[in-house]
Amino acid sequence: MTVRVVLADDQPLVRAALRMVIAETPGLEVVGEAGNGAEAVELAGAEHPDVVVMDIRMPGMDGIEATRLITEGSGGAQVIMLTTFDDDDYLYGALRAGAAGFLVKDMALDDILDAIRVVATGDGLLAPSVTRRLIREFAERSGSAAPAPRTALGITDREREVLTLIGNGLSNTEIAARLSISVATAKTYVTRLLAKLDARDRVRLVIIAYEAGLVVATR
């Protein structure tokens, strides 16, 4: 199946670069481009893409609000936040918007293409640098850089291993390779963790892993 993609970024050069590499990639197709959040929401409703690659800072409606509207809608599109965290202060708010992935613009284009494929399958994805920033932001806002480890999460030892790897930013494919299990089994563990820990998404699992002392905030 071809993964249908909408690009939302107020910088035409960024959209042009992504459009060019996607056009040359089998199995991926750009079905629309937006220069702001409102246009992205409109396109998502009209084109029913599988994935929206969303910038955070855009004029008018920003990427966070657009992501919230898209993920709360009935279209089923997954959203990847693509941003520059050196000067973005919106990460914590974006966590609540329902994005399936967080990537940074200085990543290799091949890694961004891989991320689009991963997210299209329903698997969440966090770049390791984004995971570190996420945990650091949460630590600063919660006033604790190193919470006391909690052991009573109600999960098995294997599920704890998987949660730790999620907390360190690994994808399902990477978790499967690290634990010598199939990708399907890794997805099953993630699904169980989401249910057992009452977590809406993978981002919340990262926060839980931090709160449990399984990962630590780093500079």
Q: Beta strands of 41-187 (E only): which ranges?
A: 51-54, 78-83, 101-104, 125-126
pLDDT at 147 over 50: no
Q: Which residues pair with 6 in a beta bridge?
A: 32, 52
Query: Strand, helix or coil at 92?
Result: helix
Angle between helices 157-167 and 172-179 (to 10 degrees): 130
Work out whether strand 101-104 and strand 78-83 pair parallel, antiparallel, or are unpaired.
Answer: parallel
pLDDT at 188 over 80: yes
More confident residue, 99 or 20: 20
pLDDT at 145 over 60: no
Average pLDDT on 102-126 reads: 80
